[in-house]
């Protein structure tokens, strides 16, 4: 549908001029075409988890929960040293503390990346969101590598289930980012179509 907006009349100038020959000075009209095809259409994009929310909203929610809140809790855990003393091996405890200190740096950087990614989602910038996606993968690989090294240094085997948990968590985190990047790149998600794509099970 095309809406005709802004009719610009030059009546003031016309009134100021004498009416010569009984003719009126012509008015000029400017038409601005706005495509409102997105309005009233059914949602074309993905619904995260089948019914939860649109991908843009999902990216922001995931970053708030995992990128900011969980990372803050992890930093508090590292500073407090909770759980390390129960290991029983003072040398292993020391290595775990050192590994946690390195992890704390990643947690702090993760908070900054999360804020950056939320900004990227707000402005529909897929490159900023892609940086967050890559960061999540790199952070997970580094976490598994650091933890595995600590265990190997003490002739222990890093539990496979811990690596599986890390992988599952990162897949849940990057899932909405990947879908958001796809939708923006394909033109499904944009500032013009967000009224159509907006979805939330509780907030809309």
pLDDT in tens, 71-105: 999 888 887 766 555 556 667 777 777 777 888 88
- Global confidence as pTM: 0.69
**Residues in contact with 34: Cβ distance below 8 Å, sequence separation at least 6, in sequence order:** 2, 3, 5
**Residues in contact with 144: Cβ distance below 8 Å, sequence separation at least 6, in sequence order:** 158, 163, 166
- 169: tokens are 């968590």
Neighbours of 44 (CB within 10 A): 14
Asked whether 10 and 25 are in contact (CB, 8 A), the reply is yes
Neighbours of 197 (CB within 10 A): 21
Neighbours of 114 (CB within 10 A): 25
**Between residues 50 and 4, which one has the greater pLDDT?**
50
Beta bridge partners of 180: none
pLDDT tier at 22, thresholds 50, 70, 90: very low
**Between residues 89 and 6, which one has the greater pLDDT?**
89
Euclidean distance between CA atoms 19 and 15, whole angstroms: 8
25, pLDDT greater than 50: no
- Which pLDDT score is estimated for 42? 73
Displacement of CA 99 from its chain's centroid (Å): 28
Highest mean pLDDT out of 21-30, 42-51, 53-62, 81-90: 53-62
Asked whether 68 and 115 are in contact (CB, 8 A), the reply is yes
Euclidean distance between CA atoms 148 and 158, whole angstroms: 5
Of 167, 179, 187, whose CA–CA distance to 59 is shortest? 179
Determine which helix (DSSP H) or strand (DSSP E) holds 34, and give its type and residue range. strand 32-35
38, pLDDT greater than 60: no
- Which pLDDT score is estimated for 43? 65
**Residues in contact with 156: Cβ distance below 8 Å, sequence separation at least 6, in sequence order:** none
Side-chain-facing half-sphere of 122: CA atoms under 13 Å: 8
């Amino acid at each position: 549908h095309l809406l005709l907006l802004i009719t610009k009349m030059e009546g003031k100038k016309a009134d100021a001029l004498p009416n010569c020959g009984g003719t009126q000075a012509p008015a000029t009209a400017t038409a601005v075409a706005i495509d409102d095809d997105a309005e009233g259409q059914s949602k074309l994009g993905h619904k995260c988890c089948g019914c939860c929310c649109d991908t843009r909203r999902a990216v922001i929610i995931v970053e708030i929960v995992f990128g900011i809140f969980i990372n803050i809790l992890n930093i508090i855990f590292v500073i407090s040293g909770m759980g390390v003393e129960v290991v029983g091996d003072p040398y292993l405890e020391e290595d775990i503390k050192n590994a946690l200190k390195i992890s704390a740096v990643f947690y702090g950087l993760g908070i900054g990346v999360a804020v950056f990614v939320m900004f990227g989602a707000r402005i529909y910038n897929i490159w900023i969101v892609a940086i967050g996606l890559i960061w999540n993968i790199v952070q997970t690989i580094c976490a598994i590598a650091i933890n595995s090294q600590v265990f190997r240094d003490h002739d222990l085997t890093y539990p496979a289930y811990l690596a599986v948990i890390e992988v599952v968590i990162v897949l849940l985190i990057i899932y909405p980012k990947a879908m958001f990047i796809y939708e923006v790149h394909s033109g499904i998600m944009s500032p013009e179509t967000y009224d159509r794509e907006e979805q939330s099970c509780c907030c809309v």
